[in-house]
Structure 1
Amino acid sequence: MKNVWVFALLALAGSAQADTSAAKKELVAKVLQLQQPAIEQAARTLAERPALLVLQQAGQALQSRVAADKREAIAKEIQADTKKYLDEAVPLVRERAIKLAPATVGVLLEERFSEEELKQLIAILESPINRKYSEMGGEMHKGLIEKLVAETKAAVEPKMRALEQSVTKRLGLPMAPAPGASGAARPAKAASK
């Protein structure tokens, strides 16, 4: 008879735990739903990063290796290629991030937050003040970055050029002509031979 009562108590405790777990899973799902814009933005940033690097390298190559009269046309072609990449890659990465979130972020939320903490987190995420602050995030970031670039560009650009020259030299690559260097000196030099 004792065994029956112990078994019944264990079964009752197990079902209570399952109910708690189901409630907690619902709370985690709600947090993930509220965080979906941030998850999508992280995915977008991840997909865009390689394209930005390619564009940066292409911009440098356009200036140093492409004739001035061909730059605009090639730049437009590169922009079209980049747009095609982004149109394909961003939705792919975004959809995958949304699918992975429950198994990654969701698991961490379940492990590290109690139900009460999840309820509090949801209240914070749903608060009008948090929404207002979150909506300002891009604007605040953009403002800071623009000001930072403006104030540090003159100091950082020479250091970046020195680094590029050092790396180019160490790799044994031909040095790119200095910006603004005219190709007119070359023909005159060749004519004097």
Structure 2
Amino acid sequence: MKRLIGLALVAAASLAQAQNTAIPGAPASAAKKELVQRLLTLQQNQLDGITRDIVARPAQQIAAMADETLQTQIPPAKHPPIIKKIQEHLQKYEEGTMPLVRDRAAKISQASVGPFLEEKFTEDELRQLVNALEAPAFKKFQQAQPELLNLYVQAVRKDLATAVQPKIDALERDVRIAVGAPAPASGAATPAPAKPAKK
């Protein structure tokens, strides 16, 4: 009987410990925190890229607004110096913000993503993620992605050319008619710009 009671107490203690590890907000173990840091390090380049995009988007929107203003409200003869000044401002913005992004991105990920990973993933799950991301095969796959994507794009263009080109021709014809421009001759490709004569 004492042996049974002892086993029951051990089982109860083990169950309580397991439940405590699953309680939201419970402090993460040192091993778990280390795994989270490794995972953040592995993902830092991606997080940096996202942060750069967020910072760059307002500049892109402002540049688009400036371009529209140039095209619709300012005579072409006045464009060159204005474009140069806009480019200088954009470069100044980039030079002033990108170092800040590099300095802040890691701190932001530590403060926001780190606690999320600690809460949502078990230590074993984090270990599996880290092992997968550090696997040589996965790193090789990441390095091959640009080539894979380019191969796919070329294959799509080649495969869909015969199916899509007639629709492109029809769209060009309809738009030309809508704006009152002459339609190209049937079956004729859109003429390429004439090359300048050799001097």
In the alignment, what sits opposite 1:112? 120
User: What's the CA shift for 1:114?
Assistant: 1.0
User: What's the CA shift for 1:19?
Assistant: 10
Matched, 1:56 2:56: no
Name stretches of at least 5 consecutive residues in structure 1 with no aligned partner.
Answer: 1-8, 159-193
- Structure 1 residues 18-33: aligned runs within 5 Å: 21-33=29-41
CA 1:57 to 1:133, structure 2 compared with 1: closer, same or farther past 3 Å?
Answer: farther
Contact conserved, 2:59 with 2:90, CA < 8 A, in 1? yes
Moved beyond 2 Å, runs of 4+: 17-20, 127-141
User: What's the CA shift for 1:123?
Assistant: 1.4
Residue in structure 2 matching 1:78, options 86, 97, 103: 86
Contact conserved, 2:40 with 2:114, CA < 8 A, in 1? yes
Using the size of structure 1 for normalisation, the TM-score is 0.59
Q: Distance in 2 between matches of 1:73 and 1:132?
A: 47
CA 1:55 to 1:19, structure 2 compared with 1: closer, same or farther past 3 Å?
Answer: closer
In the alignment, what sits opposite 1:185? none
Name stretches of at least 5 consecutive residues in structure 2 with no aligned partner.
Answer: 1-12, 158-166, 176-199
In the alignment, what sits opposite 2:99? 91
CA 1:55 to 1:21, structure 2 compared with 1: closer, same or farther past 3 Å?
Answer: same
Q: Which amino acid aligns with 2:53?
A: T
SS in 1 for 2:29: helix
Per-residue deviation, residues 106-145 of structure 1 (Å, max 9, x unmatched): 111111111111111011211234334444667749x97x
Residue in structure 2 matching 1:65, options 57, 73, 79: 73
- Structure 1 residues 31-180: aligned runs within 5 Å: 31-135=39-143, 140=149
Per-residue deviation, residues 65-85 of structure 1 (Å, max 9, x unmatched): 112112122112101100110
Aligned-residue CA RMSD (Å): 3.2
Per-residue deviation, residues 53-100 of structure 1 (Å, max 9, x unmatched): 011111111111112112122112101100110111122133222102
Q: Distance in 2 between matches of 1:49 and 1:40?
A: 14
CA 1:138 to 1:100, structure 2 compared with 1: closer, same or farther past 3 Å?
Answer: farther
Using the size of structure 2 for normalisation, the TM-score is 0.58
Q: Distance in 1 between matches of 2:145 and 2:135?
A: 16
Give the paired residue count: 135
Percent of aligned pairs with the same residue? 38
Q: Distance in 1 between matches of 2:33 and 2:111?
A: 12
Q: Which has the larger radius of gyration?
A: 2
CA 1:49 to 1:114, structure 2 compared with 1: closer, same or farther past 3 Å?
Answer: same
Q: Which amino acid aligns with 2:78?
A: K
Contact conserved, 1:43 with 1:90, CA < 8 A, in 2? no
